[in-house]
Each structure stands twice: as structure tokens, then as C-alpha cells.
Amino acid sequence: MPLYKATIAATASYLPEKVVTNHDLTKTLDTSHEWIFDRSGISSRHIAADDEPASAMGIKAVRKLLEKHPINPADIDLIIVPTSTPDMVFPATACIIQSAIGATNAGVFDLSAACSGYVFSINTAAVFIESGKYKNVLVVATEKYSTILNWQDRSTAFLFGDAANATLLTRAEEGHGIIAMHGGTDGGKPELLCIPAGGSKNPVTAETVKNRMSTVHMKGGDVYKNAVPRFTETIEAVIAKAGLRKEDIALIIPHQANIRIIKTVAKELGMSADKFMVNLEHYANTSSASIGLALEEALAAGRIRTGDYVVLSAFGAGFSWGSTLIRW
């Protein structure tokens, strides 16, 4: 048995000032607002400034969190930064954030799980807290996808946006906190959603740059076919692990990738779409930052009350998937 349960004590997000609408994209892409919205549910997205890397956005999210939930940064034991767009290969973006916020006693690392990064990080943080070794763990999901998109690719350019979210986990009070976790991976299909170049297999060369191999490549139909059953599987699994029924769940906060995926998953689960938090219309897919962003909005809107059972669920490249069930 774990020594403690972990819970989410606070969350705060940062969105870049610049907003790019679907109508803006029609100036450079052969597309329309209607085509994009019908297929994805997205109307606009935030785009970070050129001098605003992932670390800068993450730092701003943390500072907003500290305004809402004052904690001495020296009392933070661990910082996990899920990101697909680190400032550089190394050192970890978590190191830059740690230094900027003065978390002098924190161990830090980046976590690479694409859109599943937030859930994987929350679950990892929970295990550290459950062990009794750590009390306060900060998860900082920060993504600057605008730097890894091919803005001439009609099939992917409209799907993503930039954002950051900071979430503080700590020990829970009796009867509350994270009560179940689930995760899975199928690493046999990496080519269906990937960035082909920039790593040790295909280092950056003039040829890879010319062929835009350092940008997101996605086979959308295949991703959809994998996302729906895996999302369904992980939500059902985490509810079963908690010994609950679907009717017990007050809210599901899924990764905000595509409205069609979310609606289909709700149908597959036999649950009302009203039980799913959706905010991707104005932010698009912000990868690992999306669930934290939606969680903050759900809390602000009063959609989560004390005692509610809430599921966080994600699906991403890898393929990877996972869920967290919390009693608020």
C-alpha cells in the first residue's frame, strides 16, 4: 500500500498573445475555415513569439501558479517537464525552468511521450509522492509546436497550437486524491505519427531540411483508427481499477486533439458527450499542455466539485495512451 495518496493542488496555464485563426491560414493554405472546423472542431490557435521558447512559456505558467497557490520554490522536490519541443536536445528544459523559478532543491527531468506526456507525468509524480520520499512535485507541460510544423502541409498545419501548463501535486487529504492509473504503449507504428529527422537515426542535414523531415509527419486516418479504441480502453481500465462504474464519473478531461475522436470515444463508452471537457476550438492541439489547460478551465467553470470523480486521459505518438482517476 502507498504511504500517501497524491492529488492536484493547483494548476495554471500560459497562452501566447498571438492568435492565428482558420481564416488566417486560408491566406497560405488551400483550405477553408469550414473544412478545418468540420474535421477537427478547431477555429483558432495561439502561436508563441520567435523569442519565446518552451522554457519561457513554462516559466510563465509556473509563475501564474505560484500567484494562485503560494509555495516556496525551495520546497518543490521534483520538476517533470513533458514536452516534444524542448529548448534544445540537452540540457533538459526542466533545468532551465528550475533555475528561473528558484527551485534550488528540486531534481528535474524532461519526459518525452508526445501528447500522452501530461498523464504520464502526473502518474509518475503520483508514484514519487506515494513512496513518501517526495511531498511536492511540479509538472510543467510546455509545447511550441509552431516550430516543428510544416506550414505548407494542409493536413497538419491547422491542428496544433502553442501553450504551457503548470500543475502542482502534493499529498492528499484522507478520502481524496489519485486513486487509479493506467497506461500503455504500442511502439510498432512509429512512422504513423513522428518527426523523422533530428535524432541520431536521421541527423539534420541539408537534405532533411529540404525535405522538411524535421517537422510533424502524420497519417491522420491511421492515427484516428488507433486513437479511438485506445482512448476507450484506457478510460474503461482506469475506472475498473478504481472499482467504479462509468455512471460514477463526473467529468472526463481528454487530450484535446480532435472533436471527432472525443465524440466517437464518448459514443463507444456509452457516455454522454456532456461528461467530456472540450476546449480545443480556441487552442487546437497543444500536445502535452492540452489536458492541464482544459483542467484549469473546468475548475474555473465550476465543472468539478469536491468529491467528484474525474478522469484525465490521453493518446499520443508512440503510440502511447494513459489515464488518471482522481477523487477531487
Q: Which residues participate in catalysis according to the annotation?
A: 115, 255, 285
Residue 80: enclosing H or E segment and its boundaries? strand 78-82
CB neighbours (10 Å) of residue 240?
A: 14
Whether 124 and 322 have beta carbons less than 8 Å apart is answered as no
**Range list of H helices, 131-255:** 206-210, 220-241
| Residue closest to 217 by CA, chosen among 158, 149, 162, 284 | 149
| Residue closest to 316 by CA, chosen among 230, 197, 241 | 230
Residue whose cell numbers read 531540411: 209
CA 114 – CA 143 distance, rounded (Å): 10
**Range list of H helices, the chain:** 22-25, 33-40, 54-68, 93-101, 117-130, 206-210, 220-241, 259-269, 290-300
